[in-house]
Amino acid sequence: MAKTSDTAGACAFEAAVARLRMQPPDPARPVLLAGPTASGKSDLALWLAEQQGRVIVNADALQVHAMWHVLTARPNPQDCVRVPHLLYGMVERGQDWSVGHWLRAVAPVLQQHPNAVIVGGTGLYFRALTEGLVEIPPIPATIRAEADTLMARTGIAALRADLDAATLARIDPLNPARIQRAWEVLRATGRGLTDWQADTPPPLLPRAQASALVLRPPVDWLNARIDSRFRVMLTQGALDEVRAMLPHWQARAPWARAIGAPELIAHLQGHISWEDAVSAATLATRQYAKRQRTWFRNRLAGWDSLP
């Protein structure tokens, strides 16, 4: 019975994508295309862009980093010749980057290409684009270093304990990056993150002004694609990309969050076997996709769903 259900789910998803290709969205409106990793959103974005004269704009926080091409499944050179791909691979190691940086980068792109297809798996990018983002002052390096030290010594518990009640009530209590960000904002500005968010300006692209689509493939179908794609990445040079970063490795750096990188680093450092590294990296990718699916289900409920 479970096998039949899995097959039916895969067929329904593929049929929904096929229907979209038969009846594509308004070519004059921008398209927002969200989906978990390995869901096929990049291929669909490429098709829409070619068929409707669009450019493709990256909305994936991992694919902005210059050092990761294969490991983050960035579009290959052939696809970039077929259609312009913007905001991919332009952030160097050590360069500050955040959702605010992305939002400022995408604003002139949308002015020049008002019917762009914006594709990715980073929900916060889409939320900032369609709901607005408050401009919080930059965090001084000394405070960030203080937060890094506390996190390394005590984990998120100490930072979480210092948060204001309003922020603590709304933030994911198990997300280290979000906890640290909230702590840094409070420490640097004297105002809680929730207080800052109350001053959010109007969005750059309201949801109602775009065709907003979210891919929701069945779990077993997606997991099989994740496993297969990671094996392909390894044949295409993913390990070489990671090896090049070994002398510069900083486990807590934003660029080091590329899925699979920590596991391959551990193998290169002699801590785990090759088989264990591949298994752990594949599992990490599946877990990442699960977090993405949960986020999209909770925060993009009003988007058109495939299927």
Q: What is the mean pLDDT of residues 282-296?
A: 97
Domain shared by 145 and 114, yes or no: no
Query: Residue 254: pLDDT above 50?
Result: yes
Whose CA is closest to 263, among 295, 290, 287?
287
Residue 48's domain spans which residues? 20-134+205-217
Average pLDDT of the chain, as a whole number: 95
pLDDT at 177: 86
Number of structural domains found in the chain: 3
Q: Same structural domain for residues 119 and 29?
A: yes
* CATH number of the domain within which 60 lies: 3.40.50.300
What pLDDT score was predicted for residue 1? 47
pLDDT digits (tens, 9 = 90+) for 84-143: 999 999 999 989 899 999 999 999 999 999 999 999 999 999 999 999 998 888 899 999
- Quick one: average pLDDT of 236-245? 98
Give the CATH number for residue 149. 1.10.20.140
Average pLDDT over residues 19-40: 97
Q: Is the pLDDT of residue 3 over 80?
A: no
Q: How confident is the model at residue 53 (pLDDT cuts 50, 70, 90)?
A: very high
Give the per-residue pLDDT at 5. Answer: 64
Whether 228 is covered by a domain: the verdict is yes
For residue 6, pLDDT over 80 is answered with no
The predicted structure's pLDDT at residue 40: 97
Same domain, yes or no: 47 and 121: yes
Mean pLDDT, to the nearest integer, of 232-256? 96
Residue 25 sits in the same domain as residue 98: yes
Token pair for residue 260?
A: 């699979």
Residues 46 and 182 in one domain: no
Q: Per-residue pLDDT averaged across 22-44, rounded?
A: 98
For residue 169, being part of any structural domain is answered with: yes
Please state, in angstroms and rounded to a whole number, the distance separating the CA atoms of residues 49 and 202.
Answer: 28
Query: DSSP letter at 249?
Result: -
Full 3-state SS string of 121-164:
CCHHHHHHHHHCCCCCCCCCHHHHHHHHHHHHHHCHHHHHHCCC
The reported pLDDT for the residue numbered 138 is 87
pLDDT of residue 2: 53
Residues 158, 123 share a domain: no
> Which CATH number belongs to the domain containing residue 232 in this structure?
1.10.287.890
